[in-house]
Structure 1
Amino acid sequence: MTSRRLLLLAARILGVCLVLSAVPATTATATTTATTAGPAAAPTVSEGEVMPHLQALQQIADRNGGNRAHGTQGYADSVAYVRKALDRAGFHTELRPFSYGGAAGYNLIADWPGGDPNHVLFTGAHLDSVKQGPGINDNGSGAAAVLTTALRVADAGLKPTRHLRFAWWGAEEGGLVGSTDYVRKLSADDRSKIDLYLNLDQAGSKNTKQWLVVHDNEHGEIEGQQAFEAWFAARGIATFDIGVGGSDHESFGNAGIPSSGFSTGISDCIHEACDDLANVDPQTETTSTNALLGVVWQLAATPAASRH
């Protein structure tokens, strides 16, 4: 188990001691779309809009030796699936190549047209699994939530104040390789244009009693943390703060980029063949997706002071 798994597990155990119960969120199918970013305009999605992406990732793994790991056809097919959906929706997509363990890897970056390019709201999740299994909760769940959010941005024809960028990282199970490579290759100016990075890792764990919200105290980030905690609190859902380290957002935090996001903690199957579609709770996954949608909608409309 990597250090990030230990961190999430410790936070989950501590949180159980502090919180007696949590009320699950109610989800609903969105009946309207919005053209202006803002908290009141945020859409919601149903299980039927999120889970098909996880089903597709499971099918990709099934066709490719049971996994979607770095350097495999399963990962390449996962990237192709996500990119095709984004291209059809009108995003500008780009593959950022890197090498790890003697194999080619790829990060998928998607930019939504418009918004201030000097103030970027960046949302991402790792897309790869380990070779032992399909990685549907870790981290197909986060990848699907980010994809669903991006597609709703396109459906709404959103006109954000900030520029919106989304990413799906490769080789993160090897030690945050893809996200680290991406951040390392950014110029100092490009790094300074990222107002905030939001990350999702394991968004659909079963038996979730609370959502673990990233608290980037080292870099003074409160915008994302407060937005997520407010979204959950408004629905009676318990949260517990965790440090900036331990997942894909660590690569951004290490470069001085404010980071937030959340996880639902360690699932029953981690890095095993049983991390399949049955290892994801659809209601938890849907709640996580709606939380991300709500916060992205809110922060996309929020001007921010320059970090230059």
Structure 2
Amino acid sequence: MPLRRARLRSRPAAAVLAGGLLTALLVPGAVAAEPAATAPAAVEAAPAARVAPEQAPDIPVANVQAHLARFQSIAAANGGNRAHGRPGYRASLDYVRQQLDAAGFTTRVQQFSTFGSIGYNLVADWPGGDPNQVLMAGAHLDSVSSGPGINDNGTGSAAVLETALAVARAGFQPREHLRFTWWGAEELGLVGSRYYVANLSSADRAAITGYLNFDMIGSPNPGYFVYDDDPQIEKVFKDFYAGLGVPTEIETEGDGRSDHAAFKNAGVPVGGLFTGASRTKSAAQAAKWGGTAGQPFDRCYHSSCDTTSNVNSTALDRNSDALAHAVWTLAE
């Protein structure tokens, strides 16, 4: 999540035209997208029976943590970060893409240019579903240059990846088409997601039924915050947490400061989860969620200490399961 962004409010879908001008300013010299990867062979096992929304799989938190460990090792081997324009970012993208290609997704890398460097978005489509009804889930993959970015936003990236792999393991064939995305240069002003939305055709934009965003979902002193931008998506997440007996609050700290903003401004329904950044946890929040009052939700926000030891495994586990629940529920 970028350190400072102005709060963005909803605009009509037509306002995306203005967003295109903003993208032109933020993203000079756009570069043509890489060709789509050759579609990998289908998963060998026969697809499982359709899975009802209430049967969304439990996402193994150990698998999500394994992806985080890989992001940590990539950062360690590449100057300590996974930032835009640095080799650690491209290595992170290549790791995610390899996992998805092996699982049967069709992937493509979208290139853009900003701040003098080439940036990359990764887009992965699960075969099947109505192409005119597309449910998306995404997270930004880049870190700041000062650290490896494991909570911000390795957690969101890893949970989206593991949910996509769970779709493949289940042979899930929902009514809607599923698309998973990982954004570049979010920390420089939401550049990758803005570029993606600005370059959608009007038909492709209209086909997106919802975009789910996951940015910082394992903060070490966590809160449980739900985006309130779309009532239907908000209800899906709140119902999930009510079933766990965990209270939630409306997300305000990151409003307009993550990759859902471009979709929201284009008229796409958006939602998502967040566990807090630099704001301080109140006594009332500590009473209902645990943790330490008077301390930030993430004391290592945008710092070198944002490593694998900076993640609350309970929050990561709950939010990963909530992510899968939302994908299964909304896609059906």
TM-score relative to the length of structure 1: 0.85
Name the CA distance, whole Å, in 1 between partners of 2:7 and 2:308. Answer: 23
2:177 is aligned with what amino acid?
H
Alignment of 1:11-90 (within 5 A): 35-90=49-104
Question: Which of the residues 240, 245, 261 maps onto 1:250?
Answer: 261
Q: Does 1:270 align with 2:301?
A: yes
SS of match in other structure, 1:275: coil
CA deviations over 1:109-165 (Å, ceiling 9, x no partner): 000000011111000000000100000000000000000000000000001100000
CA distance in 2 between counterparts of 1:247 and 1:37 reads 31
Partner residue of 2:323 out of 284, 289, 292: 292
**Corresponding residue for residue 295 of structure 2:** none
Amino acid at match of 1:235: L
* Counterpart Cα distance in 1 of 2:311 and 2:184: 21
- Paired amino acid for 1:254: N
Find the aligned partners of 1:229 and 1:35 in 2 and give their Cα distance.
27
Number of residue pairs matched? 271
What's the offset of the Cα at 1:247?
Answer: 1.1
Aligned-partner Cα distance in 2 for 1:101–1:168: 19
Q: What are structure 2's unaligned runs of at least 5 residues?
A: 9-46, 278-297
Aligned partners of 1:37 and 1:300 also within 8 Å: no
CA distance in structure 2 between the aligned counterparts of 1:245 and 1:45, rounded to whole angstroms? 28
How far did residue 46 of structure 1 move? 2.5
Look up the equivalent residue of 1:233 and give its one-letter code: A
Percentage identity across paired residues of the two chains: 51
Q: Where does residue 188 of structure 1 map in the other structure? A: 202
- Select the residue among 223, 226, 236 that pairs with 2:232: 223
Q: Distance in 1 between matches of 2:51 and 2:215?
A: 25
Q: Structure 1 residues 232-241 or 134-143, which shifts more?
A: 232-241
Which residue does the alignment assign to 1:260? 271
Separation of aligned partners in 1, 2:248 and 2:7? 18
Higher-Rg member (1/2): 2
Letter in 2 for 1:250: A
Q: Which amino acid aligns with 1:143?
A: S
In the alignment, what sits opposite 2:134? 120
Change over 3 Å in CA distance of 1:5–1:157 after alignment to 2: farther
1:161 match: 175
Q: Using the alignment, how far apart are the partners of 1:129 and 1:5 within structure 2?
A: 20
- Residue of structure 2 equivalent to 1:135: 149
Query: How does the TM-score come out when normalised to structure 2?
Result: 0.79
For structure 1, the residue ranges without an aligned partner over 5 or more in a row are 8-32, 302-308
SS of alignment partner, residue 317 of structure 2: helix
Q: Give me the CA root mean square deviation.
A: 1.7
Q: Which amino acid aligns with 1:263?
A: F
* Equivalence for 2:159: 145
How far does residue 241 in structure 1 lie from its aligned partner after superposition? Answer: 1.3
